[in-house]
Amino acid sequence: MTGDRSSRKRYWDAQYTAYWKKRVEEASEGGTSSVIQGDPKTEDDSVYERVFAKTPTRAGSLLDVGCAWGRMFPLYKAMGLDVCGVDISESMIAEAMRAWSDDPDVKSIQVSEAESLPFEDAFFDNVAILAVFDATYQNEALGELLRVLKPGGHLYLTGKGHFYHKDDKPALDAEIGARRKGHPNYFTDVSKLRAQLADNGHEILASYYFPRRGDFASFTYVEEPPERFYEYFLVIQKGPSVGTYHNLAEAESQTYLDQARSGAD
């Protein structure tokens, strides 16, 4: 586990807003970041538009978990949705409030954590957790995301795989760098995630596996789960109930652990 819950909250509140703004501003297909030298740029909104075009949202409402300053709200509004946003960071939510509190399509914006959402069961037609799930305690967060979703509703979820290519140096550097700065970062065992979703009666409507760091930004993916990949995007349709989730993720990827072990040999 990376830090306790209050240090995690302080991290997101104090340090992260300026960094993520710069990453989103420079986001595009191709090229390397000037924020982290040599790192591929992060994905821009067009990547998300392509996923939503292929698997459209259900009509009605959408909860954006980890909404930051409401980066994705224009996209959701264009799809005709009523939008609610939550984020762990007070400063992100203050920005979102400044930008969106008068917008008739934005119904609520509040500080809240993915693992404990202030909404009734089966409240939303859609939930999105984009570039956030990897920062959460995933067993708890997944249960909450599914709890607030209506049966038949869609969950749009991205994360990082626990077993990426061992020569994916930007991925390994990012993992090590994140740990150094105390950035909460958990790597999902997606085969367990898929199995537990199926056992609990949920259906995966679309799958994208991005083999290497940077492939999300260029939308280079495969649909069948490969043995090794760095990031994933799943669109999940909720079954009749929520279910329970366990052992989904670890704070160190298997790739990092294997590399550390072989270095020690």
Which residues are near ligand SAM by CB under 6 A?
A: 12, 16, 20, 24, 65-68, 71, 87-89, 92, 113-114, 130-132, 135-136
Say if residues 24 and 42 touch (Cβ distance below 8 Å).
yes
Which backbone phi and psi does 43 adopt, to 5 degrees?
Answer: -75, 145
Please check whether residue 69 is in contact with residue 97, taking contact to mean a CB–CB distance below 8 angstroms.
no
Q: Name which of 15 and 259 has its Cβ closer to ligand SAM.
A: 15
Residue 108 CB, shortest distance to ligand SAM, in Å, is 14
DSSP structure string for 77-103: HHTT-EEEEEES-HHHHHHHHHHHTT-
Least spacing, CB of residue 178 vs ligand SAM, in Å: 11
- Give the residue at shortest CB distance from ligand SAM: 66
Q: How far is CA 242 from CA 33, 141, 159, in A?
A: 39, 12, 20
Nearer of residues 160 and 194 to ligand SAM, judged by Cβ: 160
Instruction: Report, in Å, the least distance between residue 48 CB and ligand SAM.
Output: 8
Nearer to ligand SAM, 53 or 264 (CB): 53
Q: Are 106 and 70 in contact (CB under 8 A)?
A: yes
| Residue 129 Cβ vs ligand SAM, minimum distance, rounded to whole Å | 8
Q: Which is nearer to ligand SAM, 113 or 231 (CB)?
A: 113
